[in-house]
Amino acid sequence: MRVLWLSPWMRTLSRVYVEALADAGHECLLITSDQHYEKTEPRPYERVLDPRPKDLRTLGPLMRTVREARQWRPNVVVVELVWDPRWTMFARLAPVVHLIHDDQPHDDTETRPAWQRRLFNRFSQRATRVVAFSEHVAKRLPYPASVVPLTSDVADRDLPEPPLERHDFVLYGRMSPYKNVPIALRAWERHLLSGQHKGDRLLLLGDGPLDVSEQDLPPRCEWRRERYSYSDVLPVLGRAKASVVHYRHATQSGVQLLSMQLGVTPIVSDSGGLVEFQPPGEPGIGVDDVEGLAAAFAELSDPDVAQRRGDASRKHFDRMFAAEQSADRLADILAQAARND
């Protein structure tokens, strides 16, 4: 099967899927861009375009890539977060499978312009198949969707060596309102006063509109406010005692999956963490439950507890979200779409 994959934003994740599909014997061509914060050199199966329709200089490379894709004769086209209307030329080359990551924005900072929302809906309405990455999202879409387990956008080969010892707690990603950071900071203060603190820090890694100054941060808390590459983040997150993913709204969190892949326990909220993603025995904590979150910090401060629960998280990832398993399920759906079943 020849799979043409359109993913201008989710470049690292689409690479993982494309390479897993290639390992399973499928030919893949990925059309992407360098908009992702992780800047890397193009791989042989990638064509990197500039998806800015108002810039006429982007038209020539686009048309050359369209001609190449047409001559390549794909059996199926995967569409993932495409906002450039010119890319619909690719979608006419074969039956379309539309990948949906979220059913709605997490907060106002993620709301797309109306014309982009219309383009997004048009892809789903015309697609042969629609795929969601969780039952939670699939049930909220206005059209039928198949479910494929989401995988991490970091390949196992790129993970750091397991740490000799664990320390610190990490809150990683864009510091958006739905990330519930003020509650995490209050819980951290409570943990410091509990007498159960064991010298760890709470590390905030990422930029964003969070309205907190350095002076407002509690003790033993650092906000490293910039965009990070995975080579910078993975060693820090990989040796953490836990990852704080205590969000206000339900999300298919890549940080949650990456944490489990690294053998780090994700601490989630009961409204933000999807039950279908969480390892067994790791229930969500109330979204405004400062005491409950502080108690989680205290429990996971014990390095033996952090290691044991982290190991269980990694086993859960391997069992449910490994790239090979996810790509295998996706390949079945792509084959159905290619046959117009």
Domains of the chain as residue ranges with CATH? 2-151+323-338 (3.40.50.2000), 156-320 (3.40.50.2000)
Q: How distant is the alpha carbon of residue 217 from its chain centre?
A: 27
Query: Of all helices (H) and strands (E), which one includes residue 41?
Result: none
106 pLDDT above the threshold of 60? no
Question: What pLDDT is attached to residue 325?
Answer: 94
User: What are the Cα distances from residue 335, in Å, to 44, 45, 222, 313?
Assistant: 23, 20, 48, 32
Note the pTM of the prediction, 2 decimals: 0.91
Element (H, E) at 222: strand 221-224
Q: Which of 188-197, 223-232, 323-332 has the lowest mean pLDDT?
A: 223-232
Q: Please give the Cα distance from 87 to 3 (Å, whole number).
A: 16
- Local structure of residue 172 (DSSP, 8 states): E
The pLDDT value given to residue 56: 80
Lookup: tokens for 229? 């590459």
> Among candidates 122, 77, 57, 131, which has minimal Cα distance to 99?
131
Place of tokens 């859960």: 316
Amino acid at 153: D
Q: Helix, strand, or coil here: 14?
A: helix
- List Cβ neighbours of 293 (8 Å cut-off, separation of 6 or more): 183, 184, 187, 246, 267, 285
Considering only CA atoms, which of 180, 292, 301 is closest in space to residue 246? 180
| Cα 179–Cα 205–Cα 301 angle in degrees, nearest 5 | 85
Phi/psi of residue 261, nearest 5 degrees: -60, -35
For 25, the 3-state DSSP assignment is coil
Q: How confident is the model at residue 333 (pLDDT cuts 50, 70, 90)?
A: very high
Q: What is the mean pLDDT of residues 254-277?
A: 93
Of the ranges 88-92, 112-116, 220-224, which one carries the lowest mean pLDDT score? 112-116
Residue 119 has pLDDT above 70, yes or no: no
Alpha-carbon 26 to chain mean position: 24
Q: Do residues 131 and 252 make contact, with C-beta atoms less than 8 angstroms apart?
A: no
Both tokens of 237, joined, read 């997150």
Q: Which residue has 């490293």 as its token pair?
A: 224
Query: If pLDDT is split at 50, 70 and 90, which confidence band does 143 have?
Result: confident
